[in-house]
Structure 1
Amino acid sequence: MSTRSYPRSRRVAQQIQRALSELIRRDIRDPRLGMVTLTEVRMSSDLSYAKVYYSVLGGEREQAQEILERAAEMLRGPLGRSLGIRHSPELRFVPDELIESGARLSALITQAVRDDAARHVDEPTDGDDPAEPKP
């Protein structure tokens, strides 16, 4: 794939996502954090800012936000060293709403299917029509 069709900001974002995932797992030892998954990193065009989207399993999102924001500055140095870049971007952590929205939508679909099945319990299935005479 040519670098023209795959911009540097996207390559750097992917590298940051991998490196930052490892740094968070290894260096942040706050038990209140829960399991954090970095779902996406978006870079500013000048690569000075990285918006880091995350989801949390087994912890509160507000607590995770606070912990990650406090750790952001501390993570910049090791992140820059692990990537071999001189100027590490400012990290901005943002909860990933898409995962929660997907889970809510999935729950709604499941409930709708259950409700529909409960309404149609007494109806004939497999083409059985009680109005038709049986042979």
Structure 2
Amino acid sequence: MSSQRSHRVGEQIQKEISALLVKGLKDPRIGFVTITGVEMTPDLHLARVFFSVMGDEKAQQETEEGLKSSVSFIRRELGKRLRMRYTPDLIFSYDHSLEYGNRIDTLLEEIQETGKRDDRTDTDED
């Protein structure tokens, strides 16, 4: 039951932080950022917030710096919006899963192209 609660709290924190980034946060370093997930500890005292950014590595680093400098503001706003006894500490981490998924797609396409070329050379030899 505790894991179900931490999952629900994580989803709510994800929604609230996403709304804050759209409406309430005015840091110019934070560009097109998406909150991709939140992992909560079982005691609900720590939330690891995963984000992705449109742009290059420089944009990613600037966004991460902006988010880390805004942690106290975001946490205070979460405390106002959530009905919890304790507002969790926030740790922002870049989500590499999108890059990983794109790399897998690229590799699968390369394998498929190699297979098509091999099929063509086999039929040409016959």
What range is the shorter-chain TM-score in? 0.7 to 0.9
2:8 corresponds in structure 1 to 11
Alignment of 1:101-120 (within 5 A): 101-120=100-119
User: Aligned to 1:42, which of 32, 39, 52?
Assistant: 39
Higher helix share: 2
Structure 2: runs of 5+ lacking an equivalent: none
Task: Give me the whole-angstrom Cα distance separating, in 2, the residues matched to 1:6 and 1:86.
Answer: 18
Task: Give me the whole-angstrom Cα distance separating, in 1, the residues matched to 2:72 and 2:88.
Answer: 10
User: Aligned to 2:49, which of 33, 52, 55?
Assistant: 52
Give identity over the alignment, percent: 33
- Paired residues, what number? 124
Structure 2 counterpart of 1:61, one-letter code: Q
Deviation at 1:39, TM superposition (A): 1.4
2:30 corresponds in structure 1 to 33
Deviation at 1:6, TM superposition (A): 5.8
2:98 corresponds in structure 1 to 99
Q: TM-score, normalised by structure 1?
A: 0.78
Task: Give me the whole-angstrom Cα distance separating, in 2, the residues matched to 1:86 and 1:26.
Answer: 25
Checking the alignment, whether the CA contact within 8 Å between 2:3 and 2:42 is kept in structure 1 is no
Query: Which structure: larger Rg?
Result: 1
Task: Give me the whole-angstrom Cα distance separating, in 1, the residues matched to 2:23 and 2:71.
Answer: 14
**Cα gap change, 1:31/1:108 in structure 2, threshold over 3 Å: closer, same or farther?**
farther
Q: CA RMSD in A?
A: 2.3
Deviation at 1:49, TM superposition (A): 0.9
Aligned partner of residue 33 in structure 1, secondary structure: coil
Deviation at 1:70, TM superposition (A): 0.6
Task: Give me the whole-angstrom Cα distance separating, in 1, the residues matched to 2:2 and 2:71.
Answer: 30
**Cα gap change, 1:111/1:31 in structure 2, threshold over 3 Å: closer, same or farther?**
farther
Task: Give me the whole-angstrom Cα distance separating, in 1, the residues matched to 2:102 and 2:34.
Answer: 16
Aligned partner of residue 123 in structure 2, secondary structure: coil
Structure 1: runs of 5+ lacking an equivalent: 131-135
Matched, 1:21 2:24: no
